[in-house]
Chains A and B, each alone.
Chain A
Amino acid sequence: MTWTAAGVQLAHFWIFGAIAIASALLFVTRRSPVAAALWLVNTMFCLAALYVLLEAPFVGAVQVLVYAGAIMVVFLFVVMLLNLGRDDARLDLREPGVRGAALLVGLLLAVELVVASRTPAEATAPLPAAEGTNVVAPVARALFTEHLVAFEVTSVLLLAAIVGAVALARRESPASRGPAVPEGPAA
């Protein structure tokens, strides 16, 4: 049955790869921020499917959980909260200068991709042996032993970003302070 399995995998790759690319194109060409955000969610979902195909179900699940399920929801929340959802010329970033810059970056990435795929890969360490059905343990072991410093530094960076966001959000100018309103009974 091996040829069938390979066929299914190939079909899986082509279907989700095609959807991912189509969604990404729609993402950059939509006018409405809400539509663009939804196409980006679709792209991320397809990437998760491709991770699963690469036998990395943990990465796939985390991709959906973090990007599609949390970050994009917050994006959408902000778009809706500021009511930016309707077509708005001020938000349309598709002016010539921006397009040119995007094209340049896109070309650079394409060149990098071609170069990277042509150069023979460095010898990488063999994949850690799967521990039974446990797909999380190898990732955890690498994170908490070999890459511990990078992991901790990243978490401190994220913490700093959170504190910074809160500080920015709470900063109020003296002018914006209204009359002192007494606090409610239950704070």
Chain B
Amino acid sequence: MSEPTGLAWVALSFAKLLAIFVVYLGTVAYTTLAERRISAWIQDRHGPNRVGPQGLFQPIADGIKNLLKEETIPGSASPWLFVLAPALAFVPAFVTWAVIPWGAPLPTPWGTISLAVADLPVGFLFILAISSLGVYGITLAGWSSNNKYSLLGGLRSSAQMVSYEIAMGLSTIPVLLLAGNVAMGDIVAQQQATSWNAVLLSVAFLTFLVSAFAETNRLPFDLPEAESELVAGYHTEYSAMKYSMFMIAEYANMMTAGAFISTLFLGGWDIPFTTWDSTGAPSALKSAATFAMLYAKTLFWLFFFIWVRWTLPRFRYDQLMALGWRVLLPLLLAYIVLIASVLLALDAVGIGRGGAYVATLFGVNVAVVAVVAFWLDRGRLVSPAASRLQVQELERLRQVAARRAAIAAAGSRGT
């Protein structure tokens, strides 16, 4: 289990960097195709299928098109920031990949290496820190364009991402309570030893998922670029490759979010129902199998993001903020206290990390999810499209409409 040193370490790090970069960029390119094909499938159309077999070369054609198109910089834009903004969105999206452990340690002739490019002791905080920088690109793009729609998109994005960072950070605290460390490797090891955090911490898992949609600006939370209100939001004025960089950053963030959710809540590279992958001597086969496992989980989340985008309508901006501040924040604060108490109680009773431990935590989570789902489905904060109105509620709405009509009538008489 000795780690490689000196030049071998440098060379292996570069090799890892290159391999992960290629895998990530290839996946990001083909996610754009997947998005278009899956949306076509959901809407019963064909989608792009002309370039190569089943449209498989479409991402290459798109890339060439974007590189060859004319770059425009609006005359009234701030030129430096306008050019800097896509890079500021692009770089954090890529840097976060560095700390995700992609599989079981790989034995090489020079020593055993971790499959994370940089196995930082603060890996988890690193992802949160770097992804919180992504908002600069979007905000500055909106501001430097000197266009009111862009500015509104940029403002919305900064408010949205700061708000949901809180929900995201709070929903990871129960994970840290269980793992006892912020290193990604320890979080994976804890899940291998007990059970996946999606089972132990279902509430945190669901709230993290919701926050991930807001942090990646994906529908139903894509308010920064809501095309029906803001033309295209923060990237209205962008063209060609600079526009493309925002899109690549969005898909890269989706993939990071998918890998992050899988690592925090779905056991990371753990292969379920076997201990073969995490025990015994490291081997190349284990590394390959566990990498395939995490990759498959990440692909599932990419599909999930796309699936939700083409299924749900967009939230209103006040609904988005109400969900973040009035629902997720108090819920998560209460949940952290609850989970900490349950963990202390389990310790006090002397239940170790076995079947009873998993069952207790799972039961607590099922109860909380049931209560929250019942409470949310009241047609108040997050109104489901099909909720039935109470008679009193209908009466109140009618009065509101009548008062509004009266005010409007008074206003039109006045002018």
Residues of A that sit less than 8 Å from B by CB: 1, 34-35, 38, 41, 57-58, 60-62, 64-65, 68-70, 73-74, 76-77, 80-81, 85, 133-137, 179, 181-187
Contact = CB atoms under 8 A, between A and B. Distances in A.
B159 interface: yes
B119 to A, nearest CB: 9
Contacts of B136: 38, 41, 73, 76
A57 B121 contact: yes
Interface of B: 5-6, 81, 120-122, 125-126, 128-130, 132-133, 135-136, 139-140, 142-143, 151, 154-155, 158-159, 161-162, 165, 180-183, 185-186, 318-319, 380-381, 383, 397, 399-400, 403-404, 407
Contact of B162 (A70, A81, A181, A185): A70
B139 A57 contact: no
A85 B146 CA distance: 10
Contact of A81 (B120, B155, B380): B155
B129 A61 contact: yes
23 contacts: A34-B143, A38-B136, A58-B122, A60-B122, A61-B128, A64-B130, A64-B132, A65-B125, A68-B132, A69-B128, A70-B132, A73-B132, A73-B135, A73-B162, A74-B158, A76-B136, A76-B158, A134-B121, A135-B122, A136-B181, A182-B404, A186-B319, A187-B380
A26 to B, nearest CB: 12
B143 A69 contact: no
Describe B's contact surface by its main secondary structure. Answer: helix
B129 A185 contact: no
B230 to A, nearest CB: 15
Contacts of A57: 120-122
A1 B6 contact: yes
A57 B124 CA distance: 12
Nearest to A62: B125
B154 A80 contact: yes
B120 A186 contact: no
Contacts of A181: 407
A182 B400 contact: yes
Nearest to A32: B78
B246 to A, nearest CB: 18
A91 B80 CA distance: 21
A59 to B, nearest CB: 9
B400 A184 contact: yes
A124 to B, nearest CB: 23
Contacts of A68: 129, 132-133
A135 B81 contact: no
Given A182-B404, A186-B381, A186-B383, A69 B181 contact: no
A1 B159 contact: no
A77 B126 contact: no
Nearest to A72: B136
Given A69-B133, A73-B132, A182-B403, A58 B125 contact: yes
Contacts of A41: 136
A135 B183 CA distance: 9
Given A64-B130, A77-B159, A179 B121 contact: no
A68 B133 CA distance: 7
Given A57-B121, A183-B400, A133 B181 contact: yes
B186 A65 contact: no
Give the residue among B6, B128, B182 with the most A Cβ atoms within 10 A: B182
